[in-house]
Structure 1
Amino acid sequence: MALAEKCLILLICIYVSLSLTITATDAQCVFPGYLKGQYFAMVGGESVNLLVDNDKWGELRCMSNYTHPKPVAGTTGSNHTFLLKSQTDNCWHCLDVLWRTENVLQYKLGNCLRTATANINDCEVFQNYKLLPTVNEVITLFRMTDTVYINCISTFEGVYQFTYEVNYGGGGICDSPNNIIQACQDPGSSYIDNQVFRMTYAVCRDVSTSFNKVVRYKCLGTWYAIKGQSTDGNGGTGYTYAAIEDTVENDQREKFKCLMTNRNQKEAFNKIRWSMSRFAQCTNLDSAFVGPFKLVLTRVTPATQFLTPQCSLPRNLTGTWLTQGVQYMSNIRINDTHIYFNTRINEYEYQETYYSCQQSQGTRYLMTKVVVGKCEIDFTCFDIVSRHHSIVRYRVGKPYQFQSNTAELNPNQFLTKTFREACSWTAFVFDRDNYEWNYETLILDPPSPVPCPIAGRYSFNQLFMSVQEKYRTRVRGVTEKPRVQIYCRNWVTEFKSCSNTMTRIQIDSEYCESVDYRGRPIGEYDEPDNILTCVGFWMEDMKSYLVTWDEEDAISSYRCWVYERKSWTGVYMSRAQNARCPRVQKALDYQLPGTGLHLDLSESERLFDDCPQRFDPGNNPYSKPITLWVLSGTSTIVPTLALLIVSIATVLNAAWL
């Protein structure tokens, strides 16, 4: 066979093979179900309606498909790259589709490639290490039909007052107390309460662009994207985007809106910044500070009549306190009727909670609970033990959600019924297996010192989980004079609380124990390493607890201790890592989570130390220690002469009579 005939047969075979491949690909290339639907977009300022059918993207037919790995595991959709072909001319297009939510897509359509055949591997995304287009390169599609209802909790949740600024028409920031976002969740609701939120705009007299309007938005979902990323996939800042839909707007351009925020923003006073588009596009949002609409959200308390107090708290609770929770520490302010919790979550974020007294009986107080920025109004019960030292112990019962329809019937009867439910003794336990009465602790801040339950002079051995928890020698503050090296024969550890410092415990991990020729203690530098101020102590569940305060403690100023007596001259102590002792902590623990140090004290008082031993287990923290104050000292002969004179006078008086 001639060479020309062989070449012709080979070309025919290649043509047939390519035809079959394209036909097979054409038959198999279909768009996934989560991409199909009727969409609206703004392209170059023009409104565009796009229909994604079984194998058509508008007027373009799908020829080949590549599915990218999911950027977030567990999502419904995936990102795709399609090879499309025009039905009117021989024009090929590469299409990158980014699935954002069930209602939002973003895409980039490549330029027309006029060739007889095309391969999906020729698309730009495969020439650039399969990097999908950035935020600035894509067009946003909003689903118009068969919209999927999405919970608003990922967009807005709670009650906010906001300021808004429009970047056209003269501008100006409108800060009105009537600017309110209300996005309240109703768990288990069969309606669309959880998928919509209400946004109320108010007029500000000095801002020409302000307006009065109440808009009900439907949430279309949120997603995370990196803006400002280079072509090689490096750099950029990650932002959270959200899409919303005006439920009554007829103009498609203003019906859909895009929002942007930074979830890791560090705003003062717990504020949140958002930028919002005017029309149905996301490319004109540059940051949370730059956009057509700039919003600054501030959390506010929900409105309720039950924040007005109807009873009073114990008078000796008034003041500033703190409590150490399982995860966070809260600063507390208490007056005659209200309790205010300020819980700092991190350096910039905090949560505020208000409690208002409604009814009381004995040690139980029915309180209305509202969290700033949340919609829920709950009733919870406080069981408060009488204050002792700088300590108040309390328990909090299970919360009972406020139902407005029942309270409007008869508020007094409602409170009485709620008290019986929320303040019943069974409300303080969460299940049948966890029935112990576990108390939380309020600590007065700043504290009022009390006599320490452990007094005397001791030497100690310490066991620790990490070296940061160990007591180590150190120089506290500025030395009064230059320190010189002095030979010491006996280095010991010292733990003492003496008669002249009953409210303090002095700890020295390296103490030079030396005396003069009369046996009296001497020392060149007798400055202790740590000085602990006793705040309060008590006994609970047959365990003795002590709270101390050390302003120089780098980890926690307040520490909780569990202590017990091992003998007449010895004490065991276990220190927690903060002001909260774990429930199962014992005096020997130091490796238990939440603890870190164990001290084994052995009495070592010397003749002239003036550190008498004292131990109070705390079974009655309301009792005061018996103290004998020596107001004036004298020699041993004076009491003898005085006794002799009194005796002679008594005898003469008896003889005279």
Structure 2
Amino acid sequence: MKIYQQLCSFMAVLFVFPNTGSSYSCNIPVILQGTWFSRENGRNTFTELDATSMSRRGRCLAMKEEFHVNYTLIFKQDLCYTCVKFLVRTVNVLEKIETPCVDAPEDHVSIDTICHSSNSSQQLVTLFSENYVPVNCRSSLHGVWNFAYQNKFKFTGECKHPDSYIRSCEQPDSQFLKTNQRFNITYKKCTGMTGSFDGVVEYSCLGDWFLGKNHYFAVANTKESRRDEKYRCFLKNLDSDLYLGVSTTADCSTLNTVENSPERLHIKPVQPEIIEPGCRLPQNFSGNWINTANMDADIFINETHIIETWNYDNGRSSNTTYVCKEQHDSLVMMARLTIGSCQKEYVCFDFVLQHHNIVRYRKGTPMITDNFHTVCSKMQFQNQVKSKYELYLRKNPMHFDDGSNL
């Protein structure tokens, strides 16, 4: 057991020590190699890393690796030794801290001696890959929102416009609707707010990472050629999904909290589109109901729509809307729209009116096609027995006189 623990420790932290008998002594990991852009001391900076050296820092002499994401390296340029710690955030984004130039005897060069002056509280520098590979946005941002925005450097107050939208969704023409590597933000100008503007910004997603409850993701403006304007960072917090923080420079270190971000977006999920009904539900379905399959939801039904609303303890709510599209006998194909979601889906309901205060139903699997015979095929229900039917119970039961008292 002791040998196993020692082996695990060795694998978790890997040291590569100087070897004065060769022209270089450490191989820089492939994930760090390439051309990187950063803003350092107010200037645009380009950094080249190859297998053995770093621009302006010289050749690599030693390296310490931690869990394949944190790398501490010693570089030598002339008589100057520099310790640089890289934090791999995504395949497209690094962050670094480094020591000033250190002059030391060659026989005293080590990770401990050169890096001892490294300060963990030092401000991180963000590096963006110049040859970035866009990644799927789904883990960073997925859905449709209306938003209001404020920018502490341009205007006071919050610019709120009904036509300001964020849309981060799969491309309709992509196979299985899986491609989602870009998203759009549509800004609208507010009267009397200098600095607010009309414009659409398209971003490519560069990946995301977590630091505690802070969820960061980096982006590249697809229409911007100026490097300092091209790269941006966003911040969400797991305790609140009502706001997004946005950097106004190519530097993620400006985002410590969502509330104090240079730019802040106040977001509200919205329904992605309006669907026109193509059929009508029975008139005696109309009213407020309780769903035995989901007792926490309020159900409202009219002649064309079923609306499920969830009310949460924090006073917020969300809802899903079903729109009647096509009906044959007891089978009804309905379009499903969820607030904040990207695309509509189609679901087959099999309704049985049990009583004027009770509706039995079962529901098929959501599909992206709107073909009735596919959505409501027998395959949807062949594995469901009658006990699988759920119930809508009228919230305020209707009483009918059956004439027995006459």
TM-score (norm 1): 0.54
1:425 aligns with 2:378: yes
**Superposition pairs of residues 526-541 of structure 1, within 5 angstroms:** none
SS for the counterpart of 2:248 is coil
Aligned residues of 1:159 and 1:374 also touching (Cα < 8 A) = yes
Aligned residues of 2:217 and 2:234 also touching (Cα < 8 A) = yes
Residue identity over aligned pairs, in percent, reads 29
Q: Residue deviations 1:471-512, cap 9 Å, x none?
A: xxxxxxxxxxxxxxxxxxxxxxxxxxxxxxxxxxxxxxxxxx
Q: Distance in 1 between matches of 2:130 and 2:37?
A: 7
From 289, 300, 306, the counterpart of 1:339: 306
CA drift at 1:398: 2.5
From 171, 190, 195, the counterpart of 2:181: 195
Q: Aligned letter for 2:162?
A: P
Q: Distance in 1 between matches of 2:39 and 2:76?
A: 23
1:288 maps to what in 2? 258
SS for the counterpart of 2:138 is helix
From 168, 174, 177, the counterpart of 1:183: 168
From 190, 196, 200, the counterpart of 1:204: 190
Q: Aligned letter for 1:27?
A: Y
2:74 maps to what in 1? 83
From 316, 334, 348, the counterpart of 1:381: 348
Q: Aligned letter for 2:248?
A: R
Q: Distance in 1 between matches of 2:190 and 2:35?
A: 39
Q: Residue deviations 1:527-578, cap 9 Å, x none?
A: xxxxxxxxxxxxxxxxxxxxxxxxxxxxxxxxxxxxxxxxxxxxxxxxxxxx
Q: Distance in 1 between matches of 2:277 and 2:126?
A: 51
User: Which residues of structure 1 form unaligned runs of 5+?
Assistant: 1-19, 70-76, 227-237, 266-270, 403-414, 451-623, 630-657
Change in CA separation of 1:392 and 1:286 when aligned onto 2, cut-off 3 Å: same
Aligned residues of 2:102 and 2:114 also touching (Cα < 8 A) = no
SS for the counterpart of 2:147 is strand
Q: Distance in 2 between matches of 1:324 and 1:281?
A: 50
Aligned residues of 1:30 and 1:54 also touching (Cα < 8 A) = yes
2:394 maps to what in 1? 444
Q: Aligned letter for 1:312?
A: R
From 114, 127, 144, the counterpart of 1:159: 144
Aligned residues of 2:161 and 2:188 also touching (Cα < 8 A) = yes
CA drift at 1:192: 9.5
Q: Distance in 2 between matches of 1:195 and 1:349?
A: 30
CA drift at 1:425: 3.0
CA drift at 1:44: 1.5
1:103 aligns with 2:78: no
Q: 1 or 2, which has the higher strand percentage? A: 2
Q: Distance in 2 between matches of 1:359 and 1:220?
A: 42
Q: Distance in 1 between matches of 2:287 and 2:138?
A: 36
Q: Residue deviations 1:420-477, cap 9 Å, x none?
A: 3222333334xxxx34342122233356799xxxxxxxxxxxxxxxxxxxxxxxxxxx
Q: Distance in 1 between matches of 2:399 and 2:99?
A: 75
Q: Aligned letter for 1:133?
A: S
CA drift at 1:169: 2.9
Q: Residue deviations 1:33-71, cap 9 Å, x none?
A: 0110110000121110111111112122211111113xx
2:209 maps to what in 1? 223
Q: 1 or 2, which has the higher helix percentage? A: 1
From 159, 162, 181, the counterpart of 1:174: 159
2:8 maps to what in 1? none
CA drift at 1:286: 2.9
Q: Distance in 2 between matches of 1:441 and 1:24?
A: 79
SS for the counterpart of 1:218 is strand
Aligned residues of 2:19 and 2:25 also touching (Cα < 8 A) = no
Change in CA separation of 1:398 and 1:160 when aligned onto 2, cut-off 3 Å: same
1:558 maps to what in 2? none
Change in CA separation of 1:193 and 1:421 when aligned onto 2, cut-off 3 Å: closer
From 274, 277, 287, the counterpart of 1:309: 277
Aligned residues of 2:62 and 2:75 also touching (Cα < 8 A) = yes
Q: Distance in 2 between matches of 1:396 and 1:119?
A: 66
From 98, 101, 112, the counterpart of 1:121: 112
CA drift at 1:25: 7.7
1:274 maps to what in 2? 244
User: Which residues of structure 2 form unaligned runs of 5+?
Assistant: 1-16
SS for the counterpart of 1:153 is coil
Change in CA separation of 1:339 and 1:435 when aligned onto 2, cut-off 3 Å: closer
CA drift at 1:335: 1.4
SS for the counterpart of 1:386 is strand
1:355 maps to what in 2? 322
From 365, 377, 399, the counterpart of 2:366: 399
Q: Aligned letter for 1:78?
A: V
CA drift at 1:258: 0.8
Q: Residue deviations 1:587-644, cap 9 Å, x none?
A: xxxxxxxxxxxxxxxxxxxxxxxxxxxxxxxxxxxxx8x99x9xxxxxxxxxxxxxxx
Q: Distance in 2 between matches of 1:374 and 1:124?
A: 48
1:300 maps to what in 2? 270
Q: Distance in 1 between matches of 2:30 and 2:317?
A: 43
CA drift at 1:27: 3.1
Q: Distance in 1 between matches of 2:359 and 2:31?
A: 57
SS for the counterpart of 1:283 is helix
Q: Bigger radius of gyration, 1 or 2?
A: 1
Change in CA separation of 1:50 and 1:168 when aligned onto 2, cut-off 3 Å: same
1:474 maps to what in 2? none
1:65 maps to what in 2? 63
| Structure with greater contact order relative to length (CA < 8 Å, sep ≥ 6) | 2
Change in CA separation of 1:78 and 1:449 when aligned onto 2, cut-off 3 Å: farther
Change in CA separation of 1:188 and 1:212 when aligned onto 2, cut-off 3 Å: closer
Point out the more displaced range, 286-295 or 33-42: 286-295
SS for the counterpart of 2:303 is coil
1:408 maps to what in 2? none
Change in CA separation of 1:443 and 1:401 when aligned onto 2, cut-off 3 Å: same
Q: Distance in 2 between matches of 1:122 and 1:360?
A: 77
SS for the counterpart of 2:277 is coil
Q: Residue deviations 1:325-380, cap 9 Å, x none?
A: 47x73221111211001235775665421111122232222211111111121222
Q: Residue deviations 1:209-254, cap 9 Å, x none?
A: 211111110000111124xxxxxxxxxxx31111000011011111
SS for the counterpart of 2:200 is strand
CA drift at 1:279: 1.1
Q: Distance in 1 between matches of 2:158 and 2:251?
A: 23
Between the two proteins, the alignment pairs up a number of residues equal to 385
Change in CA separation of 1:26 and 1:274 when aligned onto 2, cut-off 3 Å: farther
CA drift at 1:389: 6.4
SS for the counterpart of 1:101 is coil
Aligned residues of 1:159 and 1:373 also touching (Cα < 8 A) = yes
From 102, 109, 112, the counterpart of 2:101: 112
Change in CA separation of 1:377 and 1:24 when aligned onto 2, cut-off 3 Å: farther
SS for the counterpart of 2:245 is strand
Q: Aligned letter for 2:246?
A: M
Change in CA separation of 1:27 and 1:447 when aligned onto 2, cut-off 3 Å: farther
1:93 maps to what in 2? 82
Q: Aligned letter for 1:436?
A: V
Q: Distance in 1 between matches of 2:315 and 2:219?
A: 28
Q: Aligned letter for 1:62?
A: C
